Chain A
Amino acid sequence: MKLNSFFATTAISLLLALAGPVRGQLQIEIVDGVEGALPVAVVPFAFGNAEFAPETPMHEVIAADLQRSGLFETLPVADMIDRPSRPPEVQFGTWRLLKVDYVVMGRWIPAGDGINGEIEYHLVAVATGRTLFSRAIAAGPGVFRLRAHQIADAVYEELTGIPGAFATRIAYVKVSDAGTPEEMFELIVADADGHNPQTIVRHSQPILSPAWAPDARRLAYVSFATGRSNVVIQDIFTGQRDIISDERGINGAPAFSPDGRYLAMSLSRGGSPDLWLRDLQTGRMEQLTRHHSINTEPAFARDGRHIYFTSDRAGQPQIYRIRRDGSDLQRVTTEGRYNSRASIDPSNGLLAMVHGERARFRIGVLDPDSGRLRVLSNGPMDESPSFAPNGQMLLYATREAEQGVLAAVSVDGRFRQRLVLAQGDVREPAWSPRMQQ
């Protein structure tokens, strides 16, 4: 079983590679750090006399992940006095002197063929001398990076009680040569740390609104390839592309239901944009709203039975909620003149949105239970919020000196990062669900 999933992952990596690599990946810079981050050491993993070294040193990937979460401070390898690879080798006194609370270590155990094998990894607490976990995971060429992210997820979960979100992907739209005849739109999928960017689709006409299916392998998006808007679903590994909606008027704002069976969209075939639901199994279409206003940007609640959406039926755009069958309309946002593009926190049910006040558009997060709204970004032109699957970080698009960049902020607002491309605009980030193992 373990072996099967390993081969599946390898095959997937190869297929993704066929889509074509992208010049230039997102560079992640930490803007605001957190005080009181936990001091952790990630020791270089022991590869002994293995016939190869992994394409990227695993400890570097793990340390960078933990550091990026804002909750951990990692010890530079140069400051390490010894390099244990198993708990019995740990000299706790030395790590105490280095003021490290936890040590992550691991080693490579080759299988008979010398290429595939296992990574054994451990987490120890320096204060108590206890081993918090010892585990092993199948590995081989091409998957060391993914395995490192998964190990970082395990460490994060053990120390915070919250599942990690490092072994995930992000989708975003890149625009190059904007405003020139060479203008090009690309939908790109990269690892959550910006590594390994792959172009999924490229066109001279706009591409927008990428939305992940819960299987983390299909993306719905809006394409203008025909000159008019279409909603497309594409498998990121096989490249298979299905046009889901190509009606007269707007075909936009796709959003999958949590079970993946339905796709909510905004279609203006009736004269103005209304919400529609397509059953992806039967192809049946159902109209959810009927109103002369703009009704768009649907987002399923975690229970799959309610849908949040943007409507300007009261004059300005605000967030509303309806049942999946179109009944029981309720207005959700009351604070601020402009609230749109709801995004649901998949783990805690918070609601992120574009919050506009006095010509400043920032990212707000609403707790639907308490009704409390917190503004997490500075604006003035922020949009497209998207939660990490563990609900701890929020990605969004912003502008700096006329360049579109991505930013990430912790949901408590204390920790910030910028994700910047050396060339071109980036926008519309969508954080993938957890990948199915």
Chain B
Amino acid sequence: MKSVFRLTAALTLLALLAACGSQPTREVPSEPDPGTGLPDRPSQPIETDRIDPANFADSRNLENPDSVLSQREIYFEFDRSDVRAEYLPILRAHAAYLRANSSARMLLEGHADERGSREYNLGLGERRGNAVLELMLADGAAERQIEVVSYGEERPVCRQTSEACWERNRRVEIVYTAR
């Protein structure tokens, strides 16, 4: 029984690694799930009942909807880059994960809404990414584990002209390039 479980875990890990391997050319989810904002779900269900969602060292929690680690999006006010207090638990969890998994690597993708000029928004997206980076470093993540890239307003997840839509676009996405 125990060995069967190990095998399942190993297969899950393989599936996750395969998912990571397909990252570099980057696909934006066409219809992001507004509930969790989870970018990629493995095709195999995970036996979440065996995982402690508060164990931020466990890579399985990256896909566990009950764990803070499954949350990968930080949202911002217009023309602001300060991280709101409600997102600090998410950042702490990911920083803890990086601390526990020294080979893990993460991309912080900074984004802006479509208002204003594109190059300024590129700067704003980077500033948001850097704000998240600073907090992760303060929580003990290593600088070599994290890279910030700004897409400005070029990669909106929502394309309507409304505040409800813009606030989903003003974001930093946490993307693991190695787990």
Interface residues of chain A, those whose CB is within 8 Å of chain B, are 178-181, 183, 204-206, 208-209, 224, 227-229, 249-250, 252-253, 266, 268, 271-273, 294, 296-297, 310, 312, 316-317, 338, 340-341, 354, 356, 359, 361, 380-381, 383-384, 399, 402, 428
Contacts and interface: CB of A to CB of B under 8 A. Distances in A.
Interface stretch (B12-20, B51-59, B96-104, B115-123): B115-123
B83 interface: no
A270 to B, nearest CB: 12
Contact of B126 (A183, A250, A380): A250
B114 interface: yes
Given A266-B119, A340-B120, 14 more contacts: A181-B27, A206-B151, A208-B152, A227-B24, A252-B122, A253-B119, A266-B123, A268-B123, A272-B123, A296-B120, A310-B117, A317-B120, A341-B117, A381-B161
B116 A383 contact: yes
Nearest to B114: A381
A234 B27 CA distance: 27
B127 A208 contact: no
A297 B117 contact: yes
A179 B30 CA distance: 6
8 contacts: A179-B159, A206-B154, A224-B154, A227-B24, A229-B122, A312-B120, A383-B116, A384-B118
Contacts of B61: none
Given A179-B156, A268-B123, A294-B124, A208 B149 contact: no
A154 B154 CA distance: 40
B123 to A, nearest CB: 4
Contact of A341 (B120, B127, B151, B160): B120
B119 A341 contact: yes
A265 to B, nearest CB: 10
Given A180-B30, A224-B151, A384 B126 contact: no
A227 B157 CA distance: 18
B120 A297 contact: yes
A356 B79 CA distance: 12
A204 B25 CA distance: 9
A359 B77 CA distance: 13
A219 to B, nearest CB: 16
B124 to A, nearest CB: 7
Given A179-B28, A227-B149, A359-B115, A399 B123 contact: no
A356 B116 contact: yes
B155 interface: yes
Nearest to A251: B122
Interface residues on B, range: 20 to 34
B117 A354 contact: yes
A205 B150 CA distance: 13
Interface in B1-48: 24-28, 30
Contacts of B118: 208-209, 341, 383-384, 428
A380 B161 contact: yes
Contacts of B26: 205, 227
A249 B114 CA distance: 21
Top 9 nearest A-B pairs (CB, nearest first) are A294-B123, A341-B117, A206-B154, A253-B119, A340-B117, A273-B123, A296-B119, A354-B117, A340-B120
B170 to A, nearest CB: 14
| Most chain A beta-carbon neighbours within 10 Å: one of B28, B30, B117, B159 | B117
Contacts of B160: 402
Interface in B54-72: none
Most B Cβ at <10 Å: residue of A205, A356, A383? A383
A418 to B, nearest CB: 17
B173 to A, nearest CB: 14
B120 A402 contact: no
Contact of A381 (B115, B130, B154): B115
Contacts of B152: 208
B105 to A, nearest CB: 14
Contact of A340 (B25, B116, B130, B155): B116
Contacts of A340: 116-117, 120
B127 A294 contact: yes
Contacts of A312: 79, 120
A383 B161 contact: no
Contact of B116 (A224, A253, A266, A338): A338
Nearest to A356: B116
Contacts of A253: 119, 122
A208 B154 contact: yes
Contacts of B25: 204, 227
Interface string B156-169: 11011100000000
Contacts of B130: 271-272
Contacts of B155: 206
Contacts of B27: 181
A402 B161 contact: yes
B120 to A, nearest CB: 5
B127 A361 contact: no
Contacts of B127: 272, 294
A90 B29 CA distance: 66
Contacts of A179: 28, 30, 156-157, 159
